[in-house]
Amino acid sequence: MPRGVPNPAIREDLLAAAERLLLTRGPRALSGRAITREAGCATGALYNYFDSVDDLLAQGVARVVGEHDVRMRALVTRAGTGTVGANLVAAATDLADERSLAMAALSTSRPEIAHRVRTALSGAPPEFAGLASSVGAYLRAEQSLGRVRPDADPDAAGIILVAAVHHLLLTGGARSDGSDVRADVDTVVRTLVAGLRP
């Protein structure tokens, strides 16, 4: 590639390296030198693609949020299949996967990244609102099939579910073992679903 022309592969390598370090060594390991060493490129290469280490990390978090948003929007396609409870537990547990727990630990240890994440997501729906809206759309579809009570409020239930998962991630994401968080997510979702059944 000609000198001075950005190489998208290096940008992706840096994002992947930061995520690997976060998952294996935690937020404290995320220095520019450690990330570039893990990516196998020169230390200065990071600044050809990102304003700072925090910018790189924020874009990594935004990427994970975007991936979750895509999967949650697909939740509506499960309406009428399986059970409402199993579908919501699967979706909520997906939000509390290993990557999300690591990103939550990163966000709580480096709060300045939160503002950068919002900037990186500019033009996209805010994380919380987008995810809650997807859950609400799914529950409305189930409601139309008679699998959710007619007097239930799907949008409110979506907000409650996503808020609960968000809270559990932020308060439990610093733990090395996410099993407790996922068990709590399962309990919260099943409790919510019990109030939605016809």
Calpha distance 140→153 (Å, rounded): 8
Closest CA relative to residue 19, chosen from 9, 6, 29: 29
CB atoms within 10 A of CB 128: 14
Q: Are the C-beta atoms of residues 108 and 170 closer than 8 Å to each other?
A: yes
Contacts of 46 (CB under 8 A, 6+ apart): 14, 32, 35, 36, 53, 56
Q: Tokens representing 119?
A: 């900037």
Q: What pLDDT, on the 0 to 100 scale, is given for residue 6? A: 57
Q: What pLDDT, on the 0 to 100 scale, is given for residue 97? A: 86
Q: What pLDDT, on the 0 to 100 scale, is given for residue 7? A: 66
Question: How does DSSP classify residue 112?
Answer: T
Which pTM was predicted?
0.81
Calpha distance 176→178 (Å, rounded): 6
Q: Tokens representing 33?
A: 């030198």
Name the CA dihedral angle for 55, 56, 59, 63, rounded to a multiple of 10 degrees: -170
Amino acid in the structure at residue 127: E
Q: What pLDDT, on the 0 to 100 scale, is given for residue 47? A: 93
Q: What pLDDT, on the 0 to 100 scale, is given for residue 122? A: 65
Q: What pLDDT, on the 0 to 100 scale, is given for residue 107? A: 82
Per-residue tens of pLDDT for the chain, all 198 residues: 444 555 668 999 999 999 999 999 999 899 999 999 999 999 899 999 999 999 999 999 888 888 888 999 999 999 999 999 999 999 998 888 888 888 888 888 888 887 787 776 665 545 667 889 999 999 999 999 999 999 999 999 999 999 898 888 877 644 555 557 888 888 999 999 999 998
Q: What pLDDT, on the 0 to 100 scale, is given for residue 177? A: 53
Closest CA relative to residue 33, chosen from 48, 43, 25: 43
